[in-house]
Structure 1
Amino acid sequence: MALSPEDVIKKSFSATHLRRGYDETQVDDFLDEVVVELRRLLAEQDDLTGQLDDCRSGQYDGGYAGSAAAFAGGASVDEEQLEQVRREREQLVAEIEQLSGQLDSRRAEVDEFEGDAERRVEAARLKASEAESQANEELEGRLQGELLELQQKVESTRGEAEAAEARLAELRQQVSEAEQAVSQAQAQQDVSQAQQGDGSGSGAAAVGAVAAGATVARVPAEDPTKIIELAQRLHDQHVAEGQETKERLISEGDEYRERVVTEADTTAQNLIREGQEKHDELVATGQAEHDKLVNEGQARHDELISTGQGEHDRVVAAASQQRDSLIGEAETKRTNILTDLESRQSSLSGQIEELKTFESDYRTKLRGYLADQMDFLDRNGDGIDDRLQ
């Protein structure tokens, strides 16, 4: 494909979507086209040089050879410059890819730091939950112990109350026996009065022995009224003692129950309050640790992102600026090269035309000279035509 200066000037590249600049493939293809065209021009120059070898004169040949050598040397230098520009562009692309890899690495570090922060927060939550569970278990154990102790105390109080009830029943039985003895004594007194005193001594003694035991036996057998009074006193005394013991035991049981229940309620409230305070403390500590870790992770994340983004922007801006500068220099060099090539092509075309004109004139003059020499030879040097002799 023939490449003209207008094609180079009007050439445009499509912009890329992922990064700034032009499409690398299109730029490479266009540079390849420029190289192909330069090589074609060099080959054409060599061909023209070969065609002109037969008609070169000494002075003209020297000038043309020098021009051709200069042209070939300039084209080689321009191709080396284009190759250097291409290498620099590839180096910039590699540097940008390396920076992108570093940015990805920084982002991976940020993700890893966030994951570590989340794991630490989860560990703090688990620790707070375990502490709360342990506190609840300890509180439940203490409450169970207090409840068991209260139950034992209630059972003990109940046993004492039952013992008091048994004692009261025993006293009541004794009172009942005393009342029976009094009744028997009263009946015996009536019998004695009916018998008019004959068997009163032995009857009274039998009644006293049955009713009051050894105490009644000490009373004279002939006084049944005293026996009745003594039995009544014993009855009243035992009833009063039983009632007093009952009231005392009931009062002591009520006081002990109220005291134990009050102590149990106070202990339970203290344990519940301590457990709640411990729970609130652990929750507050865990939440504070969680907030601290989250804030540190977010600050570190923002710092790394800001640093990485700033470094990325700086490197990309520097690379873009250097790339634009290199592309501008390359385009300028390309324009200069194409302009120089066009100028040299025009010069070569003019030289070729001059050579063709020189060749035509030289051939004409050579034919005339050869014709004159042939005529001279035909005259044998004497100026007379050999055919006329």
Structure 2
Amino acid sequence: MALTPEQVINKTFQPTKFREGYDQEEVDLFLDEVVDELRRLNKENEELRGKLEESGVDPAAGGASAEGASSASSSQGTDSAGAQGADAASVAALNVESDSSSDVEPENLDSEIHPSNEQVPAAAEKDESASTDSSVSGANSASSAGVQTSDATGQNAVQGQSTESAASAAAVIAMAQRLHDDYVSQGESEKARLIEEGQTTANSMLSEAEAKRSEILASLEESKTNLETDVETLRSFETKYRRDLKAYLEGKLSDLEQSPRVEPTEAR
């Protein structure tokens, strides 16, 4: 089935999922170029058909008819020349016979000349009739050959135009397929590049996150060690402080028990 501009314009594609498609503007521009080329080819074909319909006769068929007519004319001329040559030959033969018969008696000479004079028109008429028949048959053969040639030429012209249109359409389709393949190849290359860049970025971010995590864990571990050391120091200080405070209080109590007891004085 031939591709029409309307089919190109109304063609729809399934939307893609989970991946990017082609540039819509570039695809639209390419479709516009294809539509313009198809419209130009269709317009050119319509103009050629219109010219053929207006002329009424295929130009190739007209040329073949002219060639057939010229062939018929040349055959007629050849037949006429042949007839004239035959007449001249007949007359020459009669002259030779007359010359060879110059020694004949006078009374026999008249009887020999009269039949010869009668034979000349008869031979000429016979040659003319044969020439006319051959001319008519040659013209009929040339006419039929011209008609056949014109029909064959017309068919060849129509087939040539159809072949040219098919070749142009095939060239447009091949160009579209080539551009489609180029766009697909570019899309696949861009897809592979983006995937590779994304994978590289992900690996880099993962490495940075692992390094940051290790650094933070090391810092926290160091802080934990320092805090544990501080806690042990504070516990040691607490133990010592309690012990010293207990000893101090016990000493004060001992001093208080050993001191003389003071009696209270009575009030006056």
Tell me the TM-score normalized by structure 1.
0.39
- The CA distance in 1 between the partners of 2:165 and 2:58, in whole Å, is 26
Q: How does 1:1-389 map to 2 (within 5 A)?
A: 118=20, 122-123=22-23, 126-128=25-27, 130-153=29-52, 155-158=54-57, 247=144, 250-362=147-259, 364=260, 367=262
1:321 positional shift: 1.3
1:263 positional shift: 1.4
2:224 aligned partner, one-letter code = I
1:252 positional shift: 4.6
Q: Deviations over 1:280-334 (max 9, x none)?
A: 1111110111112111111111111111111011011110111121022112211
Match of 2:88 in 1: none
1:253 aligned partner, one-letter code = S
| Secondary structure of the corresponding residue to residue 212 of structure 2 | helix
Residues 58, 154 of structure 2: 8 Å contact kept:
no
1:338 positional shift: 2.2
Structure 2, unmatched stretches of 5+, are 1-18, 66-132
- The CA distance in 2 between the partners of 1:255 and 1:143, in whole Å, is 25
2:234 aligned partner, one-letter code = I
1:146 positional shift: 2.8
Structure 1, unmatched stretches of 5+, are 1-116, 165-235, 375-389
1:257 positional shift: 1.4
- The CA distance in 2 between the partners of 1:271 and 1:359, in whole Å, is 128
Q: Deviations over 1:36-83 (max 9, x none)?
A: xxxxxxxxxxxxxxxxxxxxxxxxxxxxxxxxxxxxxxxxxxxxxxxx
- The CA distance in 1 between the partners of 2:25 and 2:144, in whole Å, is 57
Match of 2:71 in 1: none
1:321 aligned partner, one-letter code = A
Distance 1:159 1:145, change over 3 A: closer
Residues 34, 172 of structure 2: 8 Å contact kept:
yes
1:341 positional shift: 1.1
Distance 1:270 1:284, change over 3 A: same
- The CA distance in 2 between the partners of 1:258 and 1:154, in whole Å, is 15
Q: Percent identity?
A: 10
- The CA distance in 2 between the partners of 1:150 and 1:267, in whole Å, is 14
1:145 positional shift: 0.9
1:295 aligned partner, one-letter code = A
Distance 1:128 1:159, change over 3 A: closer
1:289 aligned partner, one-letter code = Q
1:353 aligned partner, one-letter code = E
| Secondary structure of the corresponding residue to residue 301 of structure 1 | helix
- The CA distance in 1 between the partners of 2:158 and 2:36, in whole Å, is 23
Runs of 4+ in 1 over 3 A off after TM superposition: 157-161, 239-249
- The CA distance in 2 between the partners of 1:242 and 1:338, in whole Å, is 140
Residues 150, 264 of structure 1: 8 Å contact kept:
no
- The CA distance in 1 between the partners of 2:153 and 2:199, in whole Å, is 67
1:309 aligned partner, one-letter code = L
- The CA distance in 2 between the partners of 1:306 and 1:159, in whole Å, is 75
Q: Output the aligned Cα RMSD.
A: 3.8
Distance 1:322 1:159, change over 3 A: closer
- The CA distance in 1 between the partners of 2:148 and 2:198, in whole Å, is 73
1:262 aligned partner, one-letter code = Q
| Secondary structure of the corresponding residue to residue 122 of structure 1 | coil
Match of 1:16 in 2: none
Structure showing greater Rg: 1
Aligned residues: 180
1:276 aligned partner, one-letter code = I
Q: Deviations over 1:198-231 (max 9, x none)?
A: xxxxxxxxxxxxxxxxxxxxxxxxxxxxxxxxxx
Distance 1:274 1:133, change over 3 A: same
Residues 135, 275 of structure 1: 8 Å contact kept:
yes
